[in-house]
Structures are given as C-alpha cells and as structure tokens.
Structure 1
Amino acid sequence: MFSWRYDKPYNVYDLYLNDYFKNSDLWGVEQFALVENEKIIAYVSCQVIKNDMWVGWSLRPNLCGSGTGHEFVEKCTVELISLKKHYMKDIFLKVYSWNTRAIKVYKKAGFVYYDKFIRVENGEDTEYIIMKMDIK
C-alpha cells in the first residue's frame, strides 16, 4: 500500500514515511487516496484549521512529470471545497522552496505565492513556500 519511492530529493514525500497517512481514523475525513488495483496512485490530505483549508498532494512517481498533475490538483480542489463546504474562502498549501516541479503544477492549477518560512529540520534550515488559491 505504501510502496512507492521517489528519487532524491523528492524522497522526503515517500508515503511510507508518512505516519499521518497511516492513521485510518482520518481516512475520508482529512485523507483521501486514489486507488487502482488495490494500490494507491495518488493521495490528498486536507485539514481545516481556524477556517483555513490546508491541502497537500502526492502522485505516484511514474505519474509525476506527465503533465496531469495540475488536473489532479484542480479536480481535488473542487471536490474538497464541496466536501468541506469551504466556499468563498482561501485554500493554502506549503511546499519545499526547492520543489519547482510542484510549484509549477500548483501555479498552473491556480495557486499563487503567498508567503515563505524557514523551519529547522535535521539541524538545517529548510525553506517552505506558502501558496494560496482564492475561492470565489
């Protein structure tokens, strides 16, 4: 189920490292998966915190770079807005600043730069970009 592995440096997104995803109490509430032949091919996480929706996506590695990522993000966004009744509000995401591939997908799907922050991870400064989508 959690078998895919990304090449470096994207391996920080490997599903087997994600303990949050392993919490089945959150499946269908904050976590959603696209499954084919009993294997996860895409994953979406969604949390509403203080009326702000925060989302994250993950595609199976062989689907990355295929030009379909923005369509996946767009369709998931529409579904999450409906499911969470999150109308007329912003949607946010955070992404490693070095992940230009994902940032390009998010921009194509309608997200824009909002802010950035630095977090210390494994003793090193790691920069994140925050992006948002205005829902009208």
Structure 2
Amino acid sequence: MTNFTDELHYKPSLADMTIQPLEIEQARQICEWQYDPPYDLYRWPSWDTMQKDEIEFGDPVLRCTQYAAVVNRVQELIGFAQFFPLVGVTRLGLGLHPALCSKGIGTDFTRLLVREAVRRAPQNSIDLEVLTWNNRAIRAYERAGFIIDDTYVRQTPDGPAEFHCMVYQSNP
C-alpha cells in the first residue's frame, strides 16, 4: 500500500523520482491499478494472466530488458516505463499511478524517462504514441519537449483508435 494515495497535495518533483529495474512485486501492483473512465482502457490483465501468457512485463526477458519502475524517495512505486527498441528509435511506453494522474507531475515524469532513454540509446530518436483524445497526456508530453509528428488509426484491445505519434525534440 502506498502512502501518497491518501495525501491530497502529494507532488513529487523530478528530484524525487528514481528509475530502477521493474521487480515482480511492482509488476503485480501495476496490474491492480484502476483508472477512472475514460482512462480505464489503460488497465492491464491480471498478473497471473500476464505471467502465464508472457505478455509485456509478464515476460521475464522483456521485463528485464525493456521495462523499468519509477519510485519516489521512500521507494513507493509511482509509475513505470517501457523503452521499446525500434530501428533508430526508442519508443516510450509509460504509466503513472492512478492516484497521481492530474496532479501536475506528468511533465517531470516524462522528462525523467527521456533522460533514461537517452542514457540507454543516445544515438536513437525518442517517440511515443498517445490516443488523440488524451489531452492531459498530450499537454504533459508537449511540455516535456514532444511534438505531434503523425496521426493514424491502430488496433487496441477495445478496437481501432486514433493515435498521435509524438517525437521528442532535444531543443524544444
């Protein structure tokens, strides 16, 4: 159980966040996160399903090579990241604990992940995908230095949806 979920004004800064390997217990926690609609489509299957089917961070190799946990100063899980390797590109996947959404930390959270992506593959460009209706995420990503580069439709577990591809600009 995290302490910050009960704190009305909890707002970690960039200095309060640390990236570390994603451990199994943290992966279990992420599978239990419940987002309010319409963000509930970001839910993960149960941890048992993730492990059995070796989906995403349920696959031990992917968990170790592509996923990371973001923790606060007291080692509470506040979010996670995926650093998905493409040819010449690191695609970020990210999630913030539901209790921390809309608290104004998305920009610093994203900046931390950009730093880590650069550390892991300095030669790569960095991009991410975001649903076109997710204005709160788009604003945070723009403040972190991303711009919309493309818009397209792709499949999701809930059917086809429109996405923006946003690309990081090192000098926004």
Which category describes the TM-score, using the shorter chain as reference length?
Answer: 0.7 to 0.9
- 1:8 paired with 2:37, answer yes
CA displacement at 1:104 relative to structure 2: 0.6
Residue 91 of structure 1 is aligned with which of 126, 131, 152?
126
Query: What amino acid sits opposite 1:69 in the alignment?
Result: G
Q: 1 or 2, which has the higher helix percentage? A: 2
- 1:24 paired with 2:24, answer no
DSSP-derived class of the 1:98 partner: coil
DSSP-derived class of the 2:58 partner: coil
> Distance in 2 between the 1:130 and 1:109 partners?
15
Considering only aligned residues, what root-mean-square deviation do their CA atoms show, in Å?
2.3
Query: What amino acid sits opposite 1:86 in the alignment?
Result: P
Matches within 5 A, 1:44-55: 44-55=81-92
| Contact residue 15 and residue 21 of structure 1 kept, 8 A | no
| Contact residue 34 and residue 43 of structure 1 kept, 8 A | yes
Q: 1 or 2, which has the higher strand percentage? A: 1
Identity %: 27
- 1:75 paired with 2:115, answer no
Matches within 5 A, 1:59-74: 59-74=96-111
Provide, for residues 8-65 of structure 1, a one-character-per-residue CA deviation record: whole Å limited to 9, x for no partner. Answer: 1111112346731222222242111124678632010111211111101100011111
> Distance in 2 between the 1:133 and 1:111 partners?
4
| Contact residue 91 and residue 135 of structure 1 kept, 8 A | no
> Distance in 1 between the 2:81 and 2:113 partners?
8
Structure 2: gaps of 5 or more residues: 1-28
Query: What amino acid sits opposite 1:50 in the alignment?
Result: V
Structure 1: gaps of 5 or more residues: none
TM-score (norm 2): 0.69
Larger radius of gyration: 2
Provide, for residues 113-133 of structure 1, a one-character-per-residue CA deviation record: whole Å limited to 9, x for no partner. Answer: 100101244685410011001
Paired position in structure 1 for 2:151: 116
